[in-house]
Structure 1
Amino acid sequence: MNKRARDIDHLQGHWLLAKLGKKVLRPGGVALSQWMLNQLNLKNKDVVELAPGLGVTAKSILLHGPRTYTGIDEDENAVAQLRQQLGGARIVCGSAAATGLDDAVCDVVVGEAMLSMQSETIKNSIVSEAARILRPGGHYGIHELALVPNDVDDKVAEELKKNLARSIRVNARPLTEMEWAALLEQHGFVLESIKVAPMGLLHPRQLIADEKLRVFKIVFNLIRWPNARKRVVNMRRVFRDNSKNLSAIGIVARKL
């Protein structure tokens, strides 16, 4: 096995898709991200985005006319690229669980496709940090994976998580809608809006809607990289086989 094949085999699922040329790495796609941003009413607000990654949502946030934007990302390469892409926007290298920002420094916190990949302990740390840096009455918007229905059988949920982890090379721990709500509420948030949508990350219709002409680059790379193609086919199979119990969820909550 050559180096590229080895690298592809070990890449986490979202970075594999990014390597293939995919830019939108959110479970509910651009549509759910835009729904969340519209609910947050970002104009003239101080906004912090946790783990902006490739910067797709960051660009959308800036189009809403915030007063300030700060991105916090642990990946130094991502930080460097975002600084170049986003011009004068403030991008800081740091952890979503310990941003280094002052207390009550912003009106809005945004985080997408990150909490699902964390343990219960880290989930709580990140939500607690979001509450700390928000001003009273500020809003927290998340876009994550969700288990459905709320009373999904425990054995079904655990098997889904195991299959998902094996496929995407990340120990994904999605929650039900009720569990996401409970997590936010225990850190002093009141839920204002919730939207559940299909988990269409690799569904052809969402792929085209999200990526537009980039689809051709993704297909070309899948053709020339058989190891990547094998992994993507497996990921899509896992998503499809578990579609009855796996969805995307957007939540907007207000800090008391």
Structure 2
Amino acid sequence: MASTDHPALQKNIPIPGEGLDAARMPGHWLLARLGKRVLRPGGVELTRWMLDALGVDPEDRVVELAAGLGATARLTLARRPAAYTAVDRDATAVAALSALTAPGPTQVRAVRSDAADTRLPDGDATVVYGEAMLTMQPEPAKRRIVREARRLLDDSTGRYAIHELCLLPDDLDPALAERITADLQDAIHVGARPLTPTGWSELLADEGFTVTAHKTAPMALLEPRRLVADEGLVPALRIAGRALRNPAALRRVLHMRRVFQRHSTHLGAISLLAVPTPPQP
């Protein structure tokens, strides 16, 4: 079912979800097994904005939390940082990430670890980012992960960024927010818990960061135009073809798309850039 042009499969590395029923598999792994590489709510456009805002350059030591199969890692490595460390708790993802190579002298490594407890050295990174992962955590876990990012960052030059789902607007009715969250969890089979833009900013502020920039985008992950923009025309057609040949996968994809469309007014993507808040005198 998975694409033979997927970077992981080119090196005979399995994609997470092997052996799981398509009807029960987490939505992001289902899409990955259909050949989708970009699994971020704001697409590659918002990811590029995030990396531009972070200003990754050859002096940086980058840590990516929950790096998945490496789609963003490749964009980061193209910027030739001094070092890049991918962290993921899934052994299959780490195997794929371990196959990454850099176009320059970047020191590349992949670590199997939890984003909330990476076991990496204090203050050793100048850039930390994570995408489409805090949304999937309950609030205490969200806070542990953000706190871990703060621990990893150098106090003077550190930058942190996230790219997540968000609920819109800030004053969204709590009952509607609960309904959207329940629909998301039912569709993607993961405990999605997105926040409003202010909610995301407050989370980062509470854990020692000052937000310096943010950008929102439509949540159009499964819309044809976004699919082509993120994957390219031919890969997008191949993804559609595989879904059509697999009835269980097709039902899941259509269900996810219907939920995204149903809540499109109140569901978006957001990326925030933050820096460590200086200690109060």
TM-score interval, smaller chain:
over 0.9
Given residue 244 of structure 2, which amino acid in structure 1 is its aligned partner? I
Count of matched residue pairs: 253
- Cα distance change on mapping 1:74 and 1:5 into 2, 3 Å: closer
1:79 corresponds to:
94
| Structure 1 spans left out of the alignment, 5+ residues | none
Letter in 1 for 2:140: T
TM-score (norm 1): 0.96
User: What is the distance in 1 between the residues matched to 2:209 and 2:200?
Assistant: 11
Structure 2 length as normaliser, TM-score?
0.88
Bigger share in strand: 1
* CA distance in structure 1 between the aligned counterparts of 2:123 and 2:64, rounded to whole angstroms: 15
In the alignment, residue 39 of structure 1 is paired with which amino acid? A
Q: Equivalent residue for 1:249?
A: 270
Structure 1 residues 6 and 184, CA gap change in structure 2 (3 angstroms): closer
CA contact (8 A) 2:100 2:108 kept: no
| 5+ residue gaps, structure 2 | 1-17
Counterpart in the other structure of 1:38: 52
Q: CA deviation at 1:86?
A: 2.9
Alignment of 1:1-256 (within 5 A): 7-43=21-57, 44-86=59-101, 89-137=108-156, 138-212=158-232, 213-256=234-277
SS of 2:130 mapped into structure 1: strand
Name the CA distance, whole Å, in 2 between partners of 1:18 and 1:32.
19
Following TM superposition, the consecutive aligned residue runs of length 4 or more in structure 1 with deviations greater than 4 angstroms are none
Identical counterparts, % of pairs: 47
Deviations 1:12-70 (A, max 9, x none): 01001001110000000000000000010110211000011010100000111211101
The structural deviation recorded for 1:5 is 9.9
Instruction: For residue 6 of structure 1, report the CA deviation from its aligned partner.
Output: 6.5
Aligned equivalents of 1:131, 1:6: Cα separation in 2: 35
Tell me the distance in 2 between the aligned counterparts of 1:70 and 1:59.
Answer: 12
Contact residue 5 and residue 227 of structure 1 kept, 8 A: no
Q: CA RMSD in A?
A: 1.3
Secondary structure of residue in 2 paired with 1:66: coil
